[in-house]
Structure 1
Amino acid sequence: MPQLEVDGASLAYDDEGPRDGGAVPLVFVHGWTANRRRWDHQIAHFSGRRRVIRLDLRGHGESGGAGVRTVEELAKDLLAVLDQLKIERCVLVGHSMGGMIAQTVALSHPDRVERMVLVGSIARMTFSRGRGLLMAASTLVPFKLFVATNIQRAFAPGHPKDEIRAYIRSSADTPREVVMTLYGAMRAFDVLDRVGEIRTPTLMVHGYYDVQLPVGQMLRMAKAYPDATVRILDAGHELPVEKPAELTAAIEAFVNQSSPS
C-alpha cells in the first residue's frame, strides 16, 4: 500500500492503469466516514484503459492524521497528493463530502479539473428548523449509535442488511474526533452562491431516495451551474455501492464526451 506524506499525515492511495493513453487521469474522492474501497467497481472498470487514483482522506481508512477541521483543509490535502503524483489536470469524481472537496478544488484551482462528477453531493446543506434540531440532537447520542443511525439511513429501503452492517462497522472504525469534526464541517460547508463560477463541465448523479442530502437540494445546486448534466438513479445516498454498474456507466458516458475547448 503506497502512502504519501502530506502536512504531517501519511495518506494511503492507489495509482493504477496506463500512463500513456493520452486521457487525463480519473481521481476518486470518497465521502464522510468512508474509505477508498467505496470505488472498487469504478477502479476495476476504468483502470484497464486509463490512469485512476483514489485515496483515503486524512483520518479515514488506512490514512493517518487527525485535526482536520474544514472541507477546505481536505481539499488542500488532495491538491498536495495531485502535486506529488505530478497530475496537473484530472477528471475529479467525489461522493458526498468528496463532492464538496471536488467543488472546493474546482473553485480554487479550475485549471486542475477538466471535468467533474458529483455523486450524491450538494453545495449547501439546507434543512428545516425541525430537521436541523433533530440533526443537532443526534450528536448527543453514543458515538456508535450516531454512526449506525447515519449509515443505516444512507441506503435505500431494501438494501441487504448484512452489507449495511459491514459499512456501519467500517465507518465506526473512523476515529470519533474525525467523524464528529467533519460532520460539523459538512454542515458548515456552503459554496452555493459561488457555483455559478464553476465553468468545469459537471455531471451530478444522485439517488432518488437520498435522505442524507436530498435530491431537491442537488437540483437547486444544478440550476446554478453553467454546465451541468443531471442523472437520477433508483437508490439512496450510497450510489457507489448501491448502484455501482449504473454509476460507472454514467461516468463512462460523461468522460467520453468531447473535451471542452
Structure 2
Amino acid sequence: MELNGITLAYDVYEKQNAPVLVLIHGLASTKESYNRTIPFLTEKFHILSLDLRGHGESSQVGPYTNEQLVDDILEVLDYEGIEKATLVGGSFAGAPVQQFAAKYPDRVDKLVLLDGGFARNVEMPGADLEALQKREPFSTSTMEEMIAGVRQSYGEHVTDFVDEQTRRETVQKDDGRVYLALPHEAFVSYASEYFTFSLDELAATLKTPVLVLQAANRPEFYDTALQAYLEKFPLAQAVKIPNSPHPLMVSHPQEVADYIIRFTEGKSL
C-alpha cells in the first residue's frame, strides 16, 4: 500500500471468514522470513505478512521508531479493513507489537512473541548502547562470507532457505562489500529503541493475552529476563522450544505454527 508517498509492503494469504494473523519479522529481516511457517497456518487464518519500514520492499524512509511502526501497523489494518487481529512479532518486533496492543487494545485479539519483546537488552551483561550507536555498518568481503556467518548461527538447523533469506536481507554496495540491506541509520535507531523500551510502562497498560515462544540456545540472561517478564504480565505464558536457535520461524516452522494455532484457539500448550 502507498501512504503519503511511502510504500508499506505486505503479502496477503486470503481465507474468508477466518481469524486474522499479522506476521511481523525481526530487525534487518524481511516478510519472507515467515515463508516456511506460513504453509502450516493458511488453513486456519487470513494472513498478512509485513515488511517493516526500511526493510524488504517497504520504503527506506524514516522516522525509524517504534512509534512510527505502531502507526504503520494501524494504517495497514485500516487499509485492509481488518478490525481485529492476532499479531506475531519476531525478535525485535516483539516490542512494537506489544506497544500497538497497549495503544489500540480493541484492535488486537492476542500476541505471540517469537524469542523477543520480553527483555531489555540494555540490561544484558556487557551491553553497550553507546558503542552500538557509534558502530560502523556491519559488512563482509563477499556474500559467501556473509552466508557462512549466518549458517553458523543456525547450527544443525541450516537449510537452503537460510542462504536464500540471507541474500534477501543483504546487498552488495559500490565498494564491493556486502552489507545489511536495512539502512544503517534504521538499524541503529531500531536497535536503540529495542535496547531501552520500557516493560514497566507496557505492564501498566497491556491487557492482551501473550504467548512467548522462547529459543533454547540463548544466553542465561534471557531465561532470567523471561521469568521477570512473566511476573510483570499475568496474562502472559511461555514455552521454550527445545534445541532451537533465535530465528524460530525459520528453524522450527511447524512447531511455531502449532503453538500459534493452539494459543489462538484457547487450547492447552
Q: TM-score under structure 2 normalisation?
A: 0.81
1:6 and 2:10 are equivalent in the alignment: no
Match in the other structure for 1:231: 239
Q: CA deviation at 1:158?
A: 3.7
Taking a change above 3 Å as real, the CA distance of residues 107 and 159 of structure 1, as seen in their structure-2 partners, is same
1:69 and 2:61 are equivalent in the alignment: no
Report SS of the residue matched to 1:57.
coil
Taking a change above 3 Å as real, the CA distance of residues 166 and 177 of structure 1, as seen in their structure-2 partners, is farther
Q: CA deviation at 1:94?
A: 0.8
Per-residue displacement from partner, 1:160-214 (whole Å, max 9, x unpaired)? 3866555444332222222222222222322334324322111110102134982
- Measured in 2, the distance between the counterparts of 1:57 and 1:212 equals 29
- Measured in 2, the distance between the counterparts of 1:45 and 1:91 equals 16
Q: CA deviation at 1:156?
A: 4.9
- Measured in 1, the distance between the counterparts of 2:119 and 2:130 equals 15
- Measured in 1, the distance between the counterparts of 2:54 and 2:136 equals 22
Are the aligned partners of 1:29 and 1:98 in contact in 2 as well (CA < 8 Å)? yes
Report SS of the residue matched to 1:91.
strand
Q: CA deviation at 1:7?
A: 4.1
Match in the other structure for 2:128: 133
- Measured in 2, the distance between the counterparts of 1:13 and 1:184 equals 25
- Measured in 1, the distance between the counterparts of 2:236 and 2:82 equals 24
Are the aligned partners of 1:156 and 1:210 in contact in 2 as well (CA < 8 Å)? no
Per-residue displacement from partner, 1:112-155 (whole Å, max 9, x unpaired)? 1111111111244244586123882695244215xx69x74993
Taking a change above 3 Å as real, the CA distance of residues 128 and 154 of structure 1, as seen in their structure-2 partners, is farther
Match in the other structure for 1:188: 196
Match in the other structure for 2:252: 243
Taking a change above 3 Å as real, the CA distance of residues 135 and 129 of structure 1, as seen in their structure-2 partners, is farther
Report SS of the residue matched to 2:113.
strand
1:201 and 2:209 are equivalent in the alignment: yes
- Measured in 2, the distance between the counterparts of 1:106 and 1:164 equals 31
Are the aligned partners of 1:118 and 1:202 in contact in 2 as well (CA < 8 Å)? yes
Match in the other structure for 1:254: 263
| 2:30 aligns with one of 22, 35, 44 | 35
Report SS of the residue matched to 2:266.
coil
Unaligned runs of 5+ in 2: 141-145, 170-179
Taking a change above 3 Å as real, the CA distance of residues 142 and 108 of structure 1, as seen in their structure-2 partners, is closer
Taking a change above 3 Å as real, the CA distance of residues 161 and 45 of structure 1, as seen in their structure-2 partners, is closer
Q: CA deviation at 1:89?
A: 0.6
Are the aligned partners of 2:99 and 2:202 in contact in 1 as well (CA < 8 Å)? no
Are the aligned partners of 1:203 and 1:229 in contact in 2 as well (CA < 8 Å)? yes
Q: TM-score under structure 1 normalisation?
A: 0.84
Taking a change above 3 Å as real, the CA distance of residues 181 and 134 of structure 1, as seen in their structure-2 partners, is closer
Taking a change above 3 Å as real, the CA distance of residues 183 and 212 of structure 1, as seen in their structure-2 partners, is farther
Report SS of the residue matched to 1:155.
helix
Q: CA deviation at 1:16?
A: 1.5
CA RMSD of aligned residues (A): 3.0
Q: CA deviation at 1:99?
A: 1.2
Q: Give the % identical residues.
A: 27
- Measured in 1, the distance between the counterparts of 2:73 and 2:152 equals 25
Q: CA deviation at 1:63?
A: 1.0
Match in the other structure for 1:155: 153
